[in-house]
């Protein structure tokens, strides 16, 4: 018997061969695409890191040529650190980083591509894929007020606070960024004023002042916040003198419990001289009870005004009720920095003391009203700053911030979050339409420097 080859059988062989070729191509496409995506993602991460590092490195150097060279060197170093040699068999090529200075902003552009190894598709005669990416960072000129809590609760942590603050300031350009330094306890003290016209800041002077900080007194956060905003707004708007980015950095380890004020007195001659009445800081403790006490000088760390402004404390016990007995009421509005001649000028009213929101405060001089007013005022000052385009970044230290204190048992870190308008702030105060800042919590002093570094990166307003 003679068998004949079936034409149909031959067709099947051809179809199987074609199917195998298509299957191999499909597998090759899947494998190659997957590898390419992995390489491209790694390229993206490397160029992002390079552009961010370059933007930070611009702070180093006194002229554009040096700053550009430092930025390019940092970009190359960070790219190589984040894209390992022969990653997934690829070979990366970093293009020369571009650093462009223009009207107070520096734009860093970093691009790279990778050559892929011979793959399934290469065996089929298809050219290997060559993923390419680009990243960009913008470093804006900066006006920044740094305000640090130096109250008594930080006595043991003081050296660490000082060291971390010095490291923080080293991340900014002393020849280009404007920075002012101040601290507060009972009063707020201006260590290094922000320059109103010239750019830059005196790093040596700030380092010297930081080294001299002592830690004592209450937490008059409104006084620190008021001074910080005043410093930024002292820069004139003429000739586009203000920087593109304006920032307040606020550090504290506790909730506000004090604020400055011209009190109303039962005896008209108390706490005044021929020039008018005196303003001073009225304070409370954090335990939710006791009479408020004071008054303390607004521009000193821990120095009472004395005389009829600071009634004598009884020798036995820690009872300050003489102030309550002598003062008739709190003012309706925050007036601590108004002229002595007209402390209650209606044209100078910005921040209400007597209010129903967010915490109810009346005119009565007692613990509840003073403690609540201190918290209301610092949040209102931060909101006003944000209305003016100022970003507020806050840093909190220590477990005390996680504990409810004061008359309402409210956590101190909630106040700091509200001040920053951070995305994790309580719903009552977050406003996405205003500049959104950042709150960083340092559980211990070892977390301070990383927290300050985190704020520094955010402050630079790097955009990609």
161, burial (CB in 10 Å: exposed 0-12, middle 13-18, buried 19+): buried
Model confidence at 378, pLDDT cuts 50, 70, 90, reads: very high
C-alpha closest to that of 72 among 95, 40, 93, 43: 95
Q: Does the pLDDT of residue 414 top 90, yes or no?
A: yes
What does the pLDDT read at residue 427? 95
Query: What's the mean pLDDT in 260-286?
Result: 95
C-alpha closest to that of 280 among 188, 407, 381, 372: 188
What does the pLDDT read at residue 397? 98
Integer CA distances (angstroms), 211 to 108, 169, 193, 232, 442, in order: 35, 13, 17, 24, 21
Q: Does the pLDDT of residue 317 top 70, yes or no?
A: no
Residue that the structure tokens 């971390």 belong to: 164
Predicted confidence (pLDDT) per residue in 223-270, tens digit: 999 999 999 999 999 877 898 899 999 999 999 999 999 999 999 999
Average pLDDT along the chain = 88
- Rounded to the nearest 5°, which phi and psi values hold at 294? 145, -160
What does the pLDDT read at residue 272? 94
* Cα 104-107-113 angle, rounded to 5 deg: 175
Query: What's the mean pLDDT in 364-373?
Result: 97
Is omega for the bond preceding 84 within 30 degrees of 0, making it cis? no
Q: Answer for the pair 256, 374: CB distance below 8 angstroms, yes or no.
A: yes
Give the predicted TM-score (pTM) of the model.
0.80
Residue that the structure tokens 């959104």 belong to: 436
What does the pLDDT read at residue 219? 97
What is the three-class DSSP state of 43?
A: helix
Model confidence at 303, pLDDT cuts 50, 70, 90, reads: very high
C-alpha closest to that of 145 among 215, 196, 216: 196
Predicted confidence (pLDDT) per residue in 5-18, tens digit: 555 555 655 555 55
Q: Does the pLDDT of residue 170 top 60, yes or no?
A: yes
What does the pLDDT read at residue 101? 83
What is the three-class DSSP state of 278?
A: coil
What is the three-class DSSP state of 323?
A: helix
Model confidence at 53, pLDDT cuts 50, 70, 90, reads: confident
Model confidence at 375, pLDDT cuts 50, 70, 90, reads: very high
**Residue 99 structure tokens:** 């650093």
What does the pLDDT read at residue 23? 55
**CATH number for the domain running over 142-258+328-459:** 3.40.50.410
Q: Does the pLDDT of residue 165 top 80, yes or no?
A: yes
Helix pair 7-57, 448-459: axis angle to 10 deg: 100
């Amino acid at each position: 018997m003679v068998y004949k080859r079936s034409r149909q059988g031959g067709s099947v062989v051809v179809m199987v061969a074609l199917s195998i070729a298509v299957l191999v191509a499909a597998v090759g496409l899947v494998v190659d695409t997957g590898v390419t995506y992995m390489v491209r993602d790694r390229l993206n991460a490397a160029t992002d890191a390079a552009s961010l590092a370059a933007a930070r490195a611009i702070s180093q150097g006194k002229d554009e040529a040096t700053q550009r060279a430092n930025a390019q060197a940092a970009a190359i170093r960070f790219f190589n650190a984040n894209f390992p040699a022969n990653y997934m068999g690829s070979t990366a090529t970093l293009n020369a980083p571009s650093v462009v200075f223009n009207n107070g902003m520096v734009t860093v552009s970093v691009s790279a591509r990778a050559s892929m190894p011979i793959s399934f598709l290469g065996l089929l005669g298809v050219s290997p894929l060559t993923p390419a990416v680009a990243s960009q960072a913008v470093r804006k000129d900066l006006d920044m007020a740094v305000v640090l809590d130096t109250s008594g609760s930080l006595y043991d942590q003081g050296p660490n606070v000082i060291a971390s603050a010095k490291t923080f300031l080293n991340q900014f350009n002393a020849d280009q960024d404007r920075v002012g330094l101040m601290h507060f306890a009972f009063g707020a003290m201006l260590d290094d004023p922000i320059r109103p016209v010239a750019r830059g800041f005196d790093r040596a002077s700030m380092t010297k002042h930081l080294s001299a900080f002592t830690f004592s007194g209450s937490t008059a956060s409104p006084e620190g916040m008021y001074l910080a905003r005043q410093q930024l707004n002292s820069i004139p708007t003429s000739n586009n003198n203000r920087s593109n980015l304006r920032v307040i950095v606020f550090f504290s380890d506790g909730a506000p419990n004090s604020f400055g004020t011209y009190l109303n007195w039962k005896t008209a001659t108390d706490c005044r001289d021929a020039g008018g009445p005196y303003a001073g800081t009225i304070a409370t403790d954090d335990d939710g009870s006791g009479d408020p006490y004071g008054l303390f000088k607004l521009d000193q760390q821990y120095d009472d005004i004395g005389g009829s402004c600071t009634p004598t404390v009884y020798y036995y016990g820690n009872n300050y009720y003489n102030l309550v007995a002598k003062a008739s009421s709190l003012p309706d509005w925050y007036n601590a920095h108004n002229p002595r001649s007209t402390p209650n000028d209606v044209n100078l009213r910005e921040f209400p003391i007597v209010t129903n929101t967010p915490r109810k405060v009346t005119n009565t001089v007692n613990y509840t009203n003073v403690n609540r007013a201190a918290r209301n005022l610092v949040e209102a000052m931060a909101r006003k700053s944000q209305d003016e385009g100022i970003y507020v970044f806050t840093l909190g230290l220590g477990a005390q911030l996680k504990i409810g204190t004061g008359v309402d048992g409210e956590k101190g870190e909630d106040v700091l979050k509200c001040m920053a308008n951070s995305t994790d702030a309580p719903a009552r105060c977050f406003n996405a339409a205003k500049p959104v800042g950042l709150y960083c919590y340092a559980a211990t002093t070892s977390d301070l420097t990383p927290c300050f570094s985190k704020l520094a990166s955010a402050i630079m307003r790097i955009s990609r």
